[in-house]
Structure 1
Amino acid sequence: MSTPTDIRTGDPTGLHRVLDDQAVLPQAAQRLDTRRDLWPDEVRVRVERLNLDAASFRQLERAHTKYGETDGAGVRAEVLDIVATRGKMQNPVTGSGGMLVGTVEEVGPESPLGLSVGDRVATLVSLTLTPLVIEDGLAGWDGRGEQVPCDGYAVLFGRSIAAVIPDDLDPALSLSVMDVCGAPALTARVVEEYAARGQAPTVAVIGGAGKSGSLSLAAARAAGAARTIGVVPHEAERDLLARAGIADEVTISDARDPIGLRDAVTAAGGPADVTVVCVDVPGCEGGAILATAEGGTVIFFSMATSFSAAALGAEGLAADVRMLVGNGYVPGHAAYAMELLRADAGVRALFERRL
């Protein structure tokens, strides 16, 4: 194994890969060092698939749509430009990235990740802080979906997280689940907090038919919620979620309409003790707050969330609600999400339909 001759000292957070003039963490950096040579605690992964996060992909799709038709080649070219310019996949508009699947091809002698050469893994850290090189020009991707076939390499740091892909699941399915595995784990933790106080909460999930939303509904039920409410934007998703059988009630509302959302959740059995926001559009903060009971909890998982709008909105509404930012990491979150998928046929059907 070759090691860098650079004078920079390796750091488990990846600071040594930051090329900016000022000291910032890799996620906040404008450019990362993508050299193949590893520092002692790093791991290099041969990438086979990227999964762009929903907010980022929707923004790229909108930016390259004319007369109702998406220019896939334009989306692909912009992703290639972002990665080439920044050394990572970080959408400059949304600030978000995604994750990847690949095979470990080299492990530094001091890596604490427990990975071995040949392991097929999904990274559980964002592409916004992962050094990435694309070597095939994304020739196998038409630019029209979140999952991106790719040949290249990525580098994981000492404090990165990666999970070995289970043998019993399609890798694309595993990638879809691991991309959002923080949401169900935190939802379960919050519901369990209520249960520990002798309360069985009503849980509303905005975007309940999506990836993170469907897993969060299943997690809420498994953790002891008294009632689960799935909020979806239109009839087609209501039918999908109703057939999946993972919500006690399914209601239709535009999450950007605060009064409409409040009334829809109330009519379905709310207000909610716990409201989980899993939609990838901006402007849902006020409705989520209004749909939540006094003393309740709002969990924001969407990268489209404006946290200043949430904080100021709650203040302006005199709403006594606890607001949590889903940071995508809870210990054991990947294994927990996989257990939910295996145990709930409705959730699995929703995921497989997306593939």
Structure 2
Amino acid sequence: MTTRSASSPVGLHRVLDPAGDAITLPQAARRLDARPDLWPDEVRIDVETLNLDAASFRQLAEKHTTDGAVDGDAVRAEVLGIVAERGKMQNPVTGSGGMLIGTVAEVGPESRTDLHVGDRVATLVSLSLTPLAITDGLARWDGRSEQVPARGHAILFGRTIAARIPDDLDPRLALMVMDVCGAPALVQRLVGEYVDRPTGSGGAPTVAVLGGAGKSGSLSLAAARQAGAGRLIAVVPNERERGLLEPTGLADVVVIADARSPLGLSRAVEDAGGPADITVVCVDVPGCEQPAILATAQGGTIIFFSMATNFAAAALGAEGLASDVRMLVGNGYVPGHADLALGLIRTNPAVRGLFEQRLLAE
């Protein structure tokens, strides 16, 4: 393929809409240029699998559910329509996308990555900002799972990060892990900050993870334990998820509660040994902002990893509740996050078992 000049390392040159003098980054853009020709610092990936983020897939599945059954054909058609219209996979309702795995097909002569043609990689940035074209009509996908077999191509910008798929793990397992690898890395950092405080002001924090049986939730529990957390409280929505998580020992106590219920959640966390010094929100449904605030101790910290979070509701809710909590947006990137998450999968049989059960259910 030919290369072109005058590119931006953050992808401004690929923004088609809005056009003109407006400076819009690819994630906020309505439409991207997904043509395969490269600018000098770009990399083109031959797509193998898309991994839709949980909030996006849930919204699409619920939209196309009738009498309890998901219309997979309708979900597939909507995903194809989004990609064709926007030049990227960005759910217009949730604003989120997911990530992908594929093989490096071409590397621009000015690329600063260490990627080479033939490398099998997972992108560590959202599909909501990645130029993407689909060429197979997603014919091998039934529209009922987050992992989407696909053919097409994607473009990585000069600053886009990707990681090679490790040889010792099933690529589908590696994709699931790297999709949420920012969560355990940030949890580990934050727990470490508590533990490392001067004597008398620090100590092992109580950590509550909402959605503890999920991908990001189980990894967050493992990372918190590894970093020296005290009591670990996992919140799950039903008996089935408690039955999955409780035998693993990842949490000291597993409670069933509706993460959208302010009083129900705060009482459940308090009865389990809370309130929490650190609350990690990993559920993929809206309406958990104020319940998480009430479940967190004054002076504590909340990490919002869910793309279903309404950040205005979180900020205004904390103000209205006179709650002195620090609220962090889990932005998905912490240096070394992929290696940390993959290390947890390799060394923690409990976490790996939960992930492998999810793979069997796909």
Q: For 1:35 and 1:19, how far apart are their aligned partners in 2?
A: 12
Aligned to 1:186: 186
Q: How does 1:220-235 map to 2 (within 5 A)?
A: 220-235=224-239
The residue type equivalent to 1:346 in the other structure is A
Q: For 1:3 and 1:220, how far apart are their aligned partners in 2?
A: 45
Q: For 1:64 and 1:23, how far apart are their aligned partners in 2?
A: 35
Aligned to 2:318: 314
Aligned to 1:158: 158
TM-score if structure 2 supplies the norm length?
0.96
Instruction: Quote how far apart the aligned CAs of 1:338 are.
Output: 0.3
Q: For 2:341 and 2:10, how far apart are their aligned partners in 1?
A: 26
Describe the superposition over 1:87-121 as per-residue Cα deviations: whole angstroms up to 9, x where unpaired: 00000010000000000010011111210000000
Select which of 272, 289, 295 maps to 1:268: 272
Q: Does 1:14 align with 2:11?
A: yes
Aligned to 1:238: 242
Describe the superposition over 1:43-88 as per-residue Cα deviations: whole angstroms up to 9, x where unpaired: 0000000000000000000111111111000000000000000000
Quick check: 300-309 or 192-201, which moved more? 192-201
Q: For 1:72 and 1:2, how far apart are their aligned partners in 2?
A: 38
TM-score if structure 1 supplies the norm length?
0.98
Select which of 216, 236, 256 maps to 1:212: 216
Aligned to 1:326: 330
Q: For 1:308 and 1:299, how far apart are their aligned partners in 2?
A: 15
Q: For 1:229 and 1:110, how far apart are their aligned partners in 2?
A: 48
Q: For 1:244 and 1:85, how far apart are their aligned partners in 2?
A: 44
Q: For 2:268 and 2:144, how far apart are their aligned partners in 1?
A: 32
Identity of aligned residues (%): 73
The residue type equivalent to 2:28 in the other structure is A
Unmatched tracts of structure 1, length 5 or more: none
Aligned to 1:65: 65
- In angstroms, what is the RMSD of aligned CA positions? 0.7
Describe the superposition over 1:138-197 as per-residue Cα deviations: whole angstroms up to 9, x where unpaired: 000000000000011000001101000100000000000000000000000000000111
Q: Determine helix, strand or coil for the equivalent of 1:213.
A: helix
Aligned to 2:102: 102
Aligned to 2:40: 40
Count of equivalent residues: 352
Q: For 1:155 and 1:244, how far apart are their aligned partners in 2?
A: 39
Q: Determine helix, strand or coil for the equivalent of 1:26.
A: coil
Unmatched tracts of structure 2, length 5 or more: none
Quick check: 201-210 or 15-24, which moved more? 15-24
The residue type equivalent to 1:299 in the other structure is I
